[in-house]
């Protein structure tokens, strides 16, 4: 303490006894005192009364004001020996025990004697304490949930109200002083609030200390609260210093803590005000009253406060207005409680003062009030999430939604202790309103907010209410340690990568570390429920963390990928960035149960993996058989901006309850960073929540604050249990933040400076949770050290192994050069299938218009011919009998877009369906013909995923028209055509794309053959344009029987479906194999020109073909059939080669064929095609006819 700060004797007020006592100890042996006391007494003179203290304004009796200099001299007070005193002697025989007062007692007595000279007056005011009590309870409930270990007392709040009232009535913060014999008014620039602290001595007597909080008027409530607690803590620990007593301007004393109703405390010299606080209690006449009667009649506790002031400088009206202001503040005026809640970071609004209106029980108004309680309960179930504490950043001030405000329903703080019917809330029929609100806020308004009342099924609503409105089992210490371990793994993994691979992109999970215990909890639940596997689909954010800490991917391998060490890969493998790669692993729950986990590979196209993962899981479930939805579960991880912004999310959600796509319910987890790259939520969506789209399928949505990991785990368990109970989708909205930018090299504060200032001030989720655990005594520092050291050792060992271990050997699981298999089928089997296709169950009524179609098909088969639909059915049926599952999905696939297939028949009278292909034999593999939702992206993505997981099945996706295939372009480009090259993820998906120019316009003519051919490389796909049903039959069978699994793109016919010239002999199915190119059966050597073509135009050319021009059909465009074409073209020698196509010159196969003919077989060629065009085809039928005729004419001229 410096001289400039040294307190004066006059400043100590009632604490002077302590100063005198400490001074005597200083004189006796100064080593007994702390350095601060020794420094003070080094210049202390007991009889010297000096100064007014800095920061004071002195007003003389003539009204002139001057600033006080530090330690301005003041007249000494008369010593006690010179003051008039009353004396008496002990009464003889009275039994009195008389002893002289010494030390602290004597000093206090002297100060009280001195205070008698002060002309004081006292104002008294009694005020209701109900609102004070309610808001204190709200504050302390929240502090208890945050495990602060401290509470806000009534004195804290009353003291703060005193400070705020003094700010509005500054005349109360003053003192009277005689300087040079003249009266002066001292106005204090700041409020130094003295706190009268009653202290028990070792001998059982009590004494008083009055330390003060300096400059309390410059604090907010939180700072004042901490300063108050710190000061009282030092008093009780005997660590108080002289400076703590100096310069008190106003004193607060609270004898109410021992039950005193009202007190008129003594005012000390050099202060103008002391505030007394009485007990908070019922008026005496109600102390024995029944609590229910008091509540019914609106009788509440009261508080009496006194203002004892120096009447020389403060008048009665000023004191009365001061107490009036405290009264107003304690009733919530001037945002008193709002400011306290904001300062304490309470994420709720305070209770409000309101007049009580309580109608007589049984009256109509009473019944209406009860009805409004029911309405309030229902609205909390519907809207409670709107007041939940969900944002870890707390960017927006808390608000109370009108439908959740009891005042909206005429319910006030006076109703909190009154009983109301609940309708079964929390399993109770009657509860008081305070308990009702507590249950509702605990269920729906804390760090978990639930949206579920949009669900139409009452049993699902009741299930959620039963699980969240009743008291829940607290997590045990082992579960909490496991949560901490997962948080530590999540954080330590990211920091390790940052340290070892500085600057490498990893799309960090930092800020959302709670996701790892969330995933851990979901997988633990699944494993303990006896599930065999979980499929996971997610984008890049946090993917590496999941692979390392949830799936169990080899850390050494991961570190090799960061270091750029290449694995031994199969020829032609290009690979992908590490945060796109898939993985398989095994997760073990704390109970020791294992479950297989597959993370699907994904591109950077956010959400594109969603339907793919669903298809993968459905394929596994189909393999497992009945009850498989309880054995295999999909989990999809989303980003907030992507979940609301990407249309494939809505498409995938719409798959969830469809029979052909059902997977028993998906657990969706949205890692809600509250920003999409640089786009804020307000700019990223029109919906309130990122998850609102999920309401379309009536999925419950659990919003949870990512900084409350225990709530996160509870939500994970609830979501899984709901999925298991109702086998439908459920959504977890993990609201968190992104500590870094979009990637580690990005600067996010360019676009979100306020958000990132908040983020910088926050501790990590792990740090916050660790502090709570330690405060609650639920973990020891030794346990924490063991958890952290164990994981660090694991990381270091893996890093060391990554430098010396052998890379994993990867290779293809098929023979890249395998020959085409035989695709013929025994005639007897074909006959059996054909017969069954024409057989209907007894009593089945075929649509009258369909009878002739089916009869004509049967007659055609009997004549030894097959059309396109029959050839397809024979291919599917024969493969099924050979044990291969068949799955065909498309928007109209059961009937066929062109009413040609009729694989599933519908009874004309009952609408029951019949699929002949499903009744070929007891041992056949399943055949599923699925009418899909109106989607290309999700529908094709699902079939792609299915084909990845079911390589031995014939999986087909059919476009309504081939033109619409570009609605799934992301699936085609990022998965189908490149998945094997990037991820070694093989697929045998077959696309059936109706294609052909028939005057139907630009959206019903072209499947954009050129796009597939541009993507064809490294034998990554098969692309075919069959010209006969037999060729189509063999293509489908080869797709399944070939050992080399590749996607197959078939440009299927439209008008040819009913063109008899294209029909095949049945013999071609059981005697001949697939022809990659078909020679001209009529024109042999000597032709002047060889016209090559593919698909429908062959039949247009055939109708006009002269004898000197050969027409050759190229049935497989890719891989290019070099050998077949060389064999066919050899007899024609140097005849001109011409490629004819219906498409414009910048589309179709021309550019591909021109190059392939030259590069592969050394032949130049000429193209005949429609004029290059931005649009595929004309919309005018007459123009189409002329263009088509001109193509044929040019081919032969």
Per DSSP, the residues of 60-103 read -TTS-EEEPPTT-B-PPPPPGGGS------PPTTS--------H
* CB-based contact 846:887 (threshold 8 Å): no
Alpha-helix runs per DSSP H in 529-554: 543-546
Residues 6+ apart with CB under 8 A from 773: 480, 484, 779
**What's the Rg (C-alpha) of the chain?**
43
* Residue 1042 annotated as catalytic: no
CB atoms within 10 A of CB 337: 28
The SS3 of residue 1167 is strand
Going by C-beta distance under 8 Å and a sequence separation of 6 or more, which residues neighbour residue 92? none
CB 718 within 8 A of CB 522: no
Q: Which secondary structure element, helix H or strand E, spans residue 230, and what is its range? A: helix 221-236
SS3 label, residue 448: strand
Cα–Cα distance, 1139 to 162 (Å, whole number)? 96
Going by the DSSP 8-state scheme, the letter that residue 362 receives in this structure is: T
* Cα 933 from Cα 936, distance rounded (Å): 9
Q: Which of 438, 411, 414, 416 is nearest to 425 (CA)?
A: 438
Could you tell me which residues are beta bridge partners of residue 639? 671
Dmax (CA) for the chain in angstroms is: 158
The contacts of residue 304 (CB under 8 Å, 6+ apart) are: 124, 125, 126, 127, 261, 262, 278, 279
User: Comparing C-alpha atoms, which of 718, 742, 746, 545 is closest to residue 637?
Assistant: 545
Q: How many CB atoms are located within 10 Å of the residue 661 CB?
A: 23
Nearest to 890 by CA among 609, 608, 661, 600: 661
Query: How far, CA to CA in Å, does 101 sit from each of 12, 46, 80, 1045?
Result: 20, 19, 13, 104
Bridge partners (DSSP) listed for residue 104: none
Give the alpha-carbon dihedral of 740, 742, 744, 748, to 10 degrees: -50
Q: Where does residue 817 rank: exposed (0-12), middle (13-18), buried (19+ CB within 10 A)?
A: exposed
**Which residues are CB-neighbours of 516 under 8 A, at least 6 positions away?**
486, 487, 489, 490, 509, 545, 546, 549, 550
Cite the beta strand spans of 683-842 per DSSP E: 701-705, 730-735
- Beta pairing, strands 206-209 & 197-200: antiparallel
Between the two ends of the chain, the Cα-to-Cα distance in Å is 112
Angle at 1091 between CA 1086 and CA 1096, to 5 degrees: 140
Set 71, 156, 247, 311: catalytic member: 311
HEC letters along 1043-1056: CCCCCEEEEECCHH
Instruction: Report the catalytic residues.
Output: 311
């Amino acid at each position: 303490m410096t001289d400039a700060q040294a307190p004066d004797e006059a400043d100590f007020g009632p604490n002077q006894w302590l100063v005198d006592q400490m001074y005597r100890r200083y004189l006796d042996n100064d080593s007994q005192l702390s350095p601060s006391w020794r420094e003070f007494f080094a210049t202390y003179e007991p009889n010297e009364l000096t100064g007014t203290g800095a920061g004071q304004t002195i007003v003389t009796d003539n009204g002139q004001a001057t600033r006080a200099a530090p330690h301005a001299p003041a007249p000494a007070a008369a010593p006690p020996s010179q003051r008039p005193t009353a004396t008496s002697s002990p009464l003889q025989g009275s039994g009195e025990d008389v002893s002289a007062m010494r030390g602290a007692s004597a000093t206090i007595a002297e100060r009280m004697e001195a205070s008698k000279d002060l002309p004081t007056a006292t104002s008294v005011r009694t005020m209701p304490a109900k609102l004070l009590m309610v808001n204190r309870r709200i504050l302390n409930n929240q502090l208890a949930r945050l495990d602060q270990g401290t509470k806000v007392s009534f004195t804290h709040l009353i003291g703060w109200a005193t400070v705020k009232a003094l700010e509005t009535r500054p005349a109360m913060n003053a003192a009277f002083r005689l300087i040079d014999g003249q009266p002066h008014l001292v106005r204090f620039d700041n409020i130094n609030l003295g706190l009268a602290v009653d202290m028990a001595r070792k001998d059982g007597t009590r004494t008083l200390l009055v330390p003060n909080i300096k400059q309390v008027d410059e604090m907010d409530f939180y700072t004042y609260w901490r300063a108050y607690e710190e000061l009282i803590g030092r008093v009780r620990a005997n660590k108080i210093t002289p400076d703590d007593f100096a310069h008190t301007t106003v004193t607060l004393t609270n004898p109410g803590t021992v039950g005193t109703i009202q007190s008129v405390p003594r005012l000390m010299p050099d202060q103008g005000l002391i505030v007394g606080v009485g007990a908070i209690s019922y008026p005496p006449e109600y102390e024995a009253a029944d609590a229910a009667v008091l509540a019914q009649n609106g009788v509440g506790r009261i508080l009496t406060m006194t203002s004892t002031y120096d009447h020389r400088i403060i008048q009665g009206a000023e004191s009365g207005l001061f107490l009036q202001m405290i009264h107003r503040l304690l009733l919530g005026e001037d945002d008193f409680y709002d400011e306290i809640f904001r300062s304490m970071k309470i994420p709720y609004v305070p209770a409000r003062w309101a007049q009580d209106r309580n109608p007589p029980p049984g009256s109509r108004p009473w019944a209406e009030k009860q009805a409004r309680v029911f309405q309030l309960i229902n609205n909390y179930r519907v809207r409670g999430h709107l007041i939940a504490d969900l944002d870890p950043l707390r960017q927006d001030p808390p608000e109370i939604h009108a439908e959740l405000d009891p005042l909206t329903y005429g319910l006030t703080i006076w109703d909190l202790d009154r009983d109301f019917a609940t309708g079964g809330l929390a399993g109770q029929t009657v509860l008081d309103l305070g308990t009702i609100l507590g249950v509702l806020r605990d269920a729906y308004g804390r760090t978990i907010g639930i949206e579920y009342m949009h669900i139409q099924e009452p049993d699902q609503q009741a299930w959620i209410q039963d699980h969240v409105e009743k008291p829940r089992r607290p997590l045990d210490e082992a579960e909490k340690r496991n949560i901490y371990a997962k948080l530590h793994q999540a954080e330590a993994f990211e920091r390790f990568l940052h340290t070892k691979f500085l600057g490498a992109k990893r799309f960090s999970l930092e800020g959302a570390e709670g996701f790892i215990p969330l995933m851990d909890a979901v997988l633990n639940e699944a494993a303990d429920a006896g599930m065999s596997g979980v499929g996971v689909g997610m984008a890049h954010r946090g993917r590496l963390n999941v692979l390392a800490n949830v799936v169990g991917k080899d850390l050494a391998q991961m570190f090799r990928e960061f270091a750029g060490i290449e694995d031994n890969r199969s020829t032609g493998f290009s690979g992908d960035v590490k945060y796109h790669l898939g993985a398989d692993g095994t997760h073990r729950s704390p109970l020791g149960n294992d479950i297989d986990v597959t993370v699907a590979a994904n591109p950077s196209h956010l959400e594109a993996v969603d339907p793919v993962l669903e298809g993968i899981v459905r394929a596994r479930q189909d393999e497992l058989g009945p009850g498989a939805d309880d054995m295999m579960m999909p989990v999809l991880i989303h980003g907030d901006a992507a979940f609301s912004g990407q249309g494939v999310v809505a498409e995938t959600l719409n798959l969830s309850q469809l029979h052909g796509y059902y997977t028993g319910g998906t657990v969706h987890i949205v890692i809600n960073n509250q920003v999409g790259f640089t786009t804020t939520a307000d700019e990223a969506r029109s919906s309130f929540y990122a998850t609102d789209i999920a309401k379309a399928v009536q999925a419950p949505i659990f919003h949870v604050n990512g900084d409350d990991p225990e709530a996160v785990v509870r939500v994970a368990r609830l979501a899984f249990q709901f999925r298991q109970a109702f086998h439908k989708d459920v959504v977890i909205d993990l609201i968190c933040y992104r500590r870094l930018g979009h990637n580690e090299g990005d600067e996010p504060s360019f676009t979100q400076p306020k958000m990132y200032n908040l983020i910088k001030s926050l501790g990590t989720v792990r740090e916050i949770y660790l502090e709570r655990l330690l405060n609650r005594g639920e973990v020891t520092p030794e346990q924490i050290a063991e958890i952290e050291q164990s994981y660090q050792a694991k990381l270091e060992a893996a890093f060391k192994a990554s430098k010396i271990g052998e890379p994993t050997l990867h290779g293809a699981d098929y023979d890249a050069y395998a020959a085409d298999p035989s695709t013929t089928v025994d005639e007897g089997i074909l006959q059996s299938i054909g017969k069954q296709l024409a057989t209907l169950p007894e009593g089945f009524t075929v649509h009258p218009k369909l009878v002739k179609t089916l009869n004509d098909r049967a007659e055609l088969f009997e004549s030894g011919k097959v059309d396109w639909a029959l050839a397809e059915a024979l291919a599917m049926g024969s493969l099924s009998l050979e044990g291969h599952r068949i799955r065909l999905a498309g928007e109209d696939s059961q009937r066929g877009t062109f009413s040609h297939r009729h694989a599933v028949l519908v009874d004309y009278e009952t609408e029951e369906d019949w699929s002949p292909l499903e009744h070929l034999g007891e041992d056949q593999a399943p055949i599923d013909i699925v009418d899909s939702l109106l989607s290309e992206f999700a529908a094709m993505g699902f079939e792609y995923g299915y084909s990845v997981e079911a390589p031995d099945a014939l999986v087909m996706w059919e476009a309504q028209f081939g033109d619409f295939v570009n609605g799934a372009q992301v699936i085609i480009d990022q998965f189908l055509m490149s998945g094997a090259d990037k991820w070694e993820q093989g697929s045998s998906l077959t696309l059936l794309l109706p294609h052909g120019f028939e005057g139907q316009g630009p959206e019903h003519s072209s499947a954009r053959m050129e796009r597939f051919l541009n993507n064809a490389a490294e034998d990554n796909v098969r692309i075919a344009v069959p010209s006969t049903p037999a060729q189509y039959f063999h293509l489908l069978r080869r797709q399944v029987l070939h050992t080399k699994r590749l996607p197959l793109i078939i440009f299927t016919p439209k008008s040819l479906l009913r063109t008899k010239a294209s029909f095949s002999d049945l013999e071609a199915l059981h005697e001949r194999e697939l022809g990659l190119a078909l020679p001209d059966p009529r024109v042999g050597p000597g032709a002047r020109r060889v016209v090559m073509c593919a698909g429908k135009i062959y039949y247009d050319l055939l109708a006009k073909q002269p004898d000197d021009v050969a027409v050759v059909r190229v049935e497989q465009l890719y891989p290019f059939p070099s050998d077949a074409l060389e064999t066919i073209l050899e007899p024609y020698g140097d005849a001109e080669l011409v490629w004819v196509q219906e498409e414009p010159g910048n589309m179709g196969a021309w550019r591909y064929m021109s190059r392939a003919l030259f590069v592969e077989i050394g032949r130049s060629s000429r193209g005949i095609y429609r004029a290059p065009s931005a649009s595929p085809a004309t919309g005018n039928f007459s123009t189409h006819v002329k263009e088509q005729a001109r193509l044929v004419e040019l081919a032969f001229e």
